Every structure is written in structure tokens, then in C-alpha cells.
Amino acid sequence: MKKELPDVLVVGAGFAGSVCAREIADAGFLVRVIDRRSHIGGNAWDETDLYGFLIHPYGPHIFHTNSRRIMQWLSRYTTWRFYEHRVLAYVNGDYFPIPINRNTLCKVFGIKLEEEAEVENFLLKLRESVSEIRTSEDIIISSVGRRLCDMFFRGYTRKQWGLELSQLSPSVAARIPVRTNDDDRYFSDHFQFMPADGYGKLFQNILNHPKIEVVLERDYADEPSREYVKHTVYTGQIDAFFEYCYGRLPYRSLRFEHFHVTGVAESEFVQPAPVVNFPGDEPFTRITEFKQLTGQRRAGSSLVREFPTNEGEPYYPVPTKENEQLFKEYQALQSKIENVSFVGRLAQYRYYNMDQVIGAALTESRRIIERLKVQR
């Protein structure tokens, strides 16, 4: 029996591609999903290591959103474990809450602040006036002043991005809140959870559909259906799609050093928070302890150090004015192609959170489905 040809080709099996694939398949169209890796899930994929711990090979992924619509959509494919993420910064031999809150200020400056109004007044004294917000540095020094900027953000940013704060778009620092109370949660979103059975199982459930075919270890250039499908959803690097005709868009990559610690009791941890940031001279930016993320209770503990680099898999679009201008040149080419949708961090060159990627995929899926219905 001859195999039916797909209506839609989805390039990439991460959140952007998987959400689009499921929505389009639910609308009755045949979808082929390809990914050049040996697994689905993109960078959010998780797996069990040699010691029995569920780890995130590509660094920690914590789901959070204020969107009830996105939460309800994902809940069709997973149950949840309530989880509120916490981060500490390790500076000069001590740990400080991040984002900056009342406890951070009291500990750094050796003062006592009782009321939120006192905290706000203290922050007012720290802040420096900036006539025009042009960079991430402008945002931070106008929010918390130069001392806290130097202590927690300047060195970390230099390692994370390979750039100075003064070179980065304000959008990077805009992600960093400052609190006048003791709230030490990293995120303040209404919904903060982790998939109860892990991200891998979540992706398997999303892609488990009779009209979805998944082909792994296949590059877009080697996919025969690219020539005849009605529509393509492309979630890879937009500059690669156009064969770098205007030059390469910069992306920041990461090198991961996974390690295991023995002699740790089931209910004990190696570090005082799930993630510890290192804004100092250490070559890595942060360490994640996975049993704190997943809620597993096993003896020992598996952790990972992250070393940012310019070489390797692309993880983060680098948000500078020059890079945004180059992206717009590629975007102009994209706008001339009606049967290809560009969705996700790499394709849209945006520093998206997971829920933002899912939201973009749901919106684009509706457009694609309407277009396909017209072509029937």
C-alpha cells in the first residue's frame, strides 16, 4: 500500500514544531516532523542518567506562564508537579537571593529594612538617573544602582553573552525583576509547574497522533517531502534557511559539564538552591541540581555546570541593535514566502520563554490551518 504524502512538513521537534504539528494534525492534515537530533523535544528534552536521576541534558527548563490558555493546552498531555523556582547568587563566599529582594539588600548593605516603603526609599537612593534607556546597563543602574549591578549582573552578563551590559538590548535586563518584599521566587507567574513525568513524556504525548509521522536524525536539506508539501513549519535558524546570504546571525551556545555527587542522603541536597548563579571569576555561569527541580528522592545527586561559548548548538539569539537589523533583512526575505512559517527562538530570533514559544506556535497554527482549508 502506497504511503500517503504529508500535507505539512515540520522542521524541528521542540516546542514550536511539536505544538504546530499537533494542532495541524488535530485539524485533519497529515504532518511529518523531522529533527536532526536522535530525540524529540529540542533543548527541553530530559532523560534518566546512569544514576537514575531525571536530568535536563541541555540545561534547566522550568515552566511558568500567566496564560491560562497555554496551561490548559499543555494539560491535555501531562499532569503537573507544583514547583516554584528559586535561585541564589554566590558572591565573595556567600549566597544572596536572586532576583534582588528585601533580604538581598539587607544582607549586601548590612541594614535592616522592615516595611516595603523603606525598601523602595532605599532603592531610590541607589538608583542612578538615566535620560534615555538604550541598553541593559541603563535598565539595571536605573533600577538598582551601580554597586548591585557590578555585584550581580555585570560579570554574569559578560560570561553569559560574551558582551558588556552596555552592548546588550534593554530586552535582556527587562526580564530581571526587583522586589521590595521577601518574595524569593525567581518567577512571579500565576502558573508555575514541572511536568510530573518529565518533558520527554510530554513531547511523546503531544506527538502521539495517527496523522503525525516523526523522523529523527534527518536534516531539512535531506528531506524529500520539502519539495511537494503544501506548507512547511521551520523552527531552525532563519539565517541557515536562507543559506546565510546576508551573513550569519550570532547565537550564544553552551557547553554542559554534568557531574554526580555521592554521599548525599535521599532528602538532602548538594547546594542551597536548585540553581546557583556565579557572577564572579568562575568560568561557568551557574550550577543546577536536578533533584531539586524534579522532586526525586534518591541517594546522591546529579548536577550540571554551564559554560557559555560562541561555538556549538545555537541556544540564545544575541540581542543587540546590529543583530536585530540583520534579522530584519532575513525577515524581509521570509515575508516573500507564503508557504513557509518561521516559528520559535531560532526562527524568529527572539529570546523567548517556553510559554511564549507555545503561544507563537498556537497562533501560527491557526493561520496555517485556515490556509490549508482554503487549498482543499
Residue 211 contacts residue 25 (beta carbons within 8 Å): yes
Which residues are 232's β-sheet partners?
9, 340
Residues 177-233 pLDDT 10s: 899 999 999 999 999 999 999 999 999 999 999 999 999 999 999 999 999 999 999
Residue 281 contacts residue 155 (beta carbons within 8 Å): yes
Q: Is 38 left (phi over 0), alpha (psi -120 to 50) or beta?
A: alpha
pTM of the model: 0.95
- Parts of the chain with a pLDDT under 70: 1-2
Residue ranges covered by each domain of the chain: 8-47+67-76+194-249+317-375, 100-173
Q: Domain 8-47+67-76+194-249+317-375 belongs to what topology?
A: Rossmann fold (3.40.50)
Q: Please tell me the distance from the alpha carbon of residue 161 to that of residue 259, in angstroms, as a whole number.
A: 24
Which residues are 87's β-sheet partners?
98, 275
DSSP E strand stretches across the chain:
8-11, 31-35, 47-48, 54-55, 63-65, 80-82, 87-91, 94-98, 191-195, 212-216, 231-234, 251-261, 275-277, 286-289, 301-309, 316-317, 340-342
User: Pick from 53, 59, 99, 63: which is nearest to 270 by CA?
Assistant: 53
Residues 356-376 pLDDT 10s: 999 999 999 999 999 999 987
Q: Which class for 264: exposed (0-12), middle (13-18), buried (19 or more C-beta within 10 A)?
A: middle
